[in-house]
Amino acid sequence: MSDTRKLWTLLGVLLVVSFSVLIWSGTRIYEAAPPMPERVVAADGTTIYSRAEIEKGRQVWQSMGGMQLGSIWGHGGYVAPDWSADWLHREALAVLDGWSQAEDGVPYTELNAERQAALTGRLRRVMRSNTYDPETATITLPDERAAAIREVSSHYESLFGDDPATAELRENYAMKNGTVPDAEHRRVLSAFFWWTAWAATTERPNDTITYTNNWPHEPLVGNKPPASTFLWSAFSVTFLLAGIGLLGWHYAVTHDREEARVPLPEFDPMRHVKATPSMLATAKYFWVLLALFLVQILFGAMTAHYQVEGQLVYGYEMAEILPYSITRTWHTQLAVLWIAVAWLGTGLYIGPAVSGHEPRFQRLGVNFLWVCLLIIVVGSFAGQWFAVMQTLGLENNFWFGHQGWEYADMGRFWQWFLFIGLMLWLVLVGRALWPTLTQKSEMRSIIGLLFLSTVAIGLFFAAALMWNEHTHISMVEYWRWWLVHLWVEGFFEVFATAVIAFLFTRLGLLQAKTATVAVLFATIIFMAGGVLGTLHHLYFAGSPTPVLALGASFSALEVVPLAYIGFEAYHTYRLGGATPWMQRYRWPVMFFIAVAFWNLVGAGLFGFLINPPLSLYYMQGLNLTPLHGHTALFGVYGMLGIGLVLFCLRGMKPELAWHEGILKTSFWCLNIGLALMALLTLLPLGTMQLFASLEHGYAYARSAEFMQQPFVDLLVWMRVPGDTIFSIGALALVVFVAGLWLFPKREDEVPVRAEKDSRAGARAGDGGARRGRAKEADEKGRAG
């Protein structure tokens, strides 16, 4: 059996086993999820909340922006508090104050340490006890908790309305006045918050840990990391070291093997490839991409300013028109959309470029899909705005408004529309690739992997359709991370790897067989940890301990290939200088090198910083989470999308000269701006919050008391230099692309310029070695 067939077999077995375990994990989450009671009653039998009220409260929470305004179980926004932790802390204090006032005549905070310890010991017994009766589906609470619930509920009913008593707190949380104008909706919203807090502090039957594995850290009720988080964090580090060792051994064994020499083309093989009408039609995708990118940056700046200006943006009253929850919704959603459009456009461009075949009505299909994408963006964003402004109505919100789940915010109608659009994209790319897929050639495996990743991208968006309006929140989280982790971080990665390998092979820099083995091996290594690594997002979402163990073990393996990412970067750099004419592709290659760097830093270092269970227990929902999110999402997938777009533009307009200075400005500003954003704000702020969470509890680390400190404001303002430089990079990219259409200039190079480029290509090719170009090309062929 050939190496390629062995790798295909190994990949198939790996995916079958991994997804079987992932689906089994879903069944365990379903069985162990915290129960939804039919009634919550006080000791005297008085009904506190009904199931209908809790579920309606969740609908209200989703309609106002859900995870985009504060968070639940650690997932969501970072300015407002985590409502589960906030309710838990407030209820605990209310119970303690009730006891201390009744028994000692003073508030709890004025008691001596010994008396406080006695009351907190009693509190832990009361709040951690599981009084859920599965036969009647009823939770019975003691009278002191019922009184505390009424007190905390009145606070939330004031906060989410326009009560002047909580105006300052609303401003601190960047909430608009009248976030939930209906009084009954505010009351049932409190019911949902209470249930999420109840799950976080109530022990599972016959166990000593809560439904959320003792998350969040709350000293008052005895929430601290369970032993399993220590155990599996230690094992995750062990798995990481073992994986790095095995991959290092593999590299040591294989890197010196003699490879067949690649006769490098004298001229760019793709320069004279004629773009078909459908390939040219993809240009409008890239224009939309750039518009979405700029708008995303704008909403990101507005969202950051809300953090320090409350209800103002640059001094202007914006909260009543574009509240924080909507600017953050659009900022996060646009990040995924513009990167996805980059890859969708690349797929539509690459299909006919691979096969040289233009299917009938292909251009019409490309144009029709583009119109559909515009309708989806405008329609879903409009629905979200009406929902957040509370004018759409709860009965319409799920389908046409705001679902409230971070990265999966658009209404179900728009999700179905997008899924159908992805099926159309799959058909368009597949029919263009089909002639090549049915022919036996060395390129067949790479193209096959490219096609299969296209199929997976189309089909796996269906994970967003697997929950309905009243599906248990633990199961919504399970399927949501299928979408976010597997769709964005999984199969788009495979698609991009296959596209890049194809491009270098088509340029004559790599042998098809060598590239095929490399791509299959990389896919196997990534998927070995990537599929089950999905579970690391679910440690504290109502999942049982086996799910935590699997997530910890396999998320560590996700980092293994990133430890050797420098080899990939160096290999890409060598290919970029293999021949003088590769200078034409210098900046796409530079963006691919940036992908390797941010893969190591953003996905690798910052990712593993938060991934072990013990780390994430304290860090989930703190600013160390967006540190990983920003550097991985834009640093890896954004840079990758820009690099692919530039490759397509080079093929679309091969005769035009590129303004190297503008691209250089864009490249370095984007990278430097992202680095400053991470190092000047997210890393130090997240570290401060981590110390606060360790010392005082999670609720304090997310509280207005902590987040409104002058030094925190200073750290947020320190984003301005990085954001400004980053914005300059984005504008430079737009100017460059616009110049290709508005101010085209043909490549009429003079001989001096050609010789200069030739020497530059030679220097880049062998790292400065003084050899003849013929010998250098030979060396580069061996390296390829």
60 has a pLDDT exceeding 80: yes
Identify the pLDDT of residue 311. Answer: 79
Residue scoring higher pLDDT (225 or 314) = 225
Cα separation values, 412 from 145, 183, 187, 217, 406, Å:
38, 27, 26, 34, 14
Buried (b) or exposed (e) across 275-286, using 16+ Cβ within 10 A?
A: bbebbebbbbbb
Identify the pLDDT of residue 596. Answer: 85
Identify the pLDDT of residue 748. Answer: 62
- The mean predicted confidence, pLDDT, of the chain is 88
Quote the percentage of the chain above a pLDDT of 70: 93
Identify the pLDDT of residue 2. Answer: 66
Task: Give the confidence band of 106 by pLDDT, cuts at 50, 70, 90.
Answer: very high
Identify the pLDDT of residue 145. Answer: 96
779 has a pLDDT exceeding 50: no
Identify the pLDDT of residue 256. Answer: 55
Q: What is the mean pLDDT of residues 158-187?
A: 95
Task: Give the confidence band of 784 by pLDDT, cuts at 50, 70, 90.
Answer: very low
Largest CA distance in the chain: 94
Identify the pLDDT of residue 780. Answer: 40
Q: Do the beta carbons of residue 765 and residue 776 sit within 8 Å?
A: yes
Q: Take residue 361 and report the two structure tokens written for it.
A: 């009505």
Identify the pLDDT of residue 562. Answer: 73
Task: Give the confidence band of 672 by pLDDT, cuts at 50, 70, 90.
Answer: very high
Cα separation values, 731 from 635, 643, 663, 728, Å:
17, 16, 10, 5
Q: Highest mean pLDDT: which of 66-80, 439-453, 630-644, 769-783?
A: 66-80
CB atoms within 10 A of CB 719: 24
Identify the pLDDT of residue 735. Answer: 95
Task: Give the confidence band of 515 by pLDDT, cuts at 50, 70, 90.
Answer: confident
Nearest to 80 by CA among 68, 89, 91: 68
Which of 67-76, 434-443, 546-555 has the least mean pLDDT?
Answer: 434-443
Task: Give the confidence band of 518 by pLDDT, cuts at 50, 70, 90.
Answer: confident
Residue scoring higher pLDDT (7 or 230) = 230
pTM, rounded to two decimals: 0.90
Q: What is the DSSP string of 106-169?
A: S-GGGS-HHHHHHHHHHHHHHHH---EETTTTEEEE-HHHHHHHHHHHHHHHHHTTT-GGGHHH
**Which distant-in-sequence residues (6+ apart) come within 8 Å of 338 by Cβ?**
289, 292, 293, 296, 641
Quote the percentage of the chain above a pLDDT of 90: 64
CB atoms within 10 A of CB 768: 8
Q: Between 773-783 and 565-576, two packed helices, what is the crossing angle to 10 degrees?
A: 150
Q: What is the pLDDT of residues 527-550, one digit of tens each?
A: 888 889 899 999 999 999 999 999
260 has a pLDDT exceeding 60: no
- Helices and strands (H and E) in the chain: how many: 33, 8
**Which distant-in-sequence residues (6+ apart) come within 8 Å of 457 by Cβ?**
343, 422, 426, 487, 491, 492, 495
d(CA 524, CA 531): 11
Task: Give the confidence band of 765 by pLDDT, cuts at 50, 70, 90.
Answer: very low
Task: Give the confidence band of 243 by pLDDT, cuts at 50, 70, 90.
Answer: confident
Q: What is the mean pLDDT of residues 396-414?
A: 96
Identify the pLDDT of residue 758. Answer: 39
Identify the pLDDT of residue 548. Answer: 92
Cis omega (within 30 of 0) for bond into 277: no
Which of 16-30, 71-85, 552-566, 587-601 has the least mean pLDDT?
Answer: 552-566
160 has a pLDDT exceeding 50: yes
Q: What is the pLDDT of residues 332-356, one digit of tens each?
A: 999 989 988 998 999 999 889 888 8
Cα separation values, 168 from 78, 309, 310, 390, 418, Å:
18, 12, 9, 22, 40
d(CA 530, CA 534): 7
d(CA 541, CA 544): 9
Q: Which amino acid appears at position 421 of this protein?
A: G
Three-state SS annotation for 713-779: HHHHHCHHHHHHHHHHHHHHHHHHHHHHHHCCCECCCCHHHHHHHHHHHHHHHHCCCCCCHHHHHHH
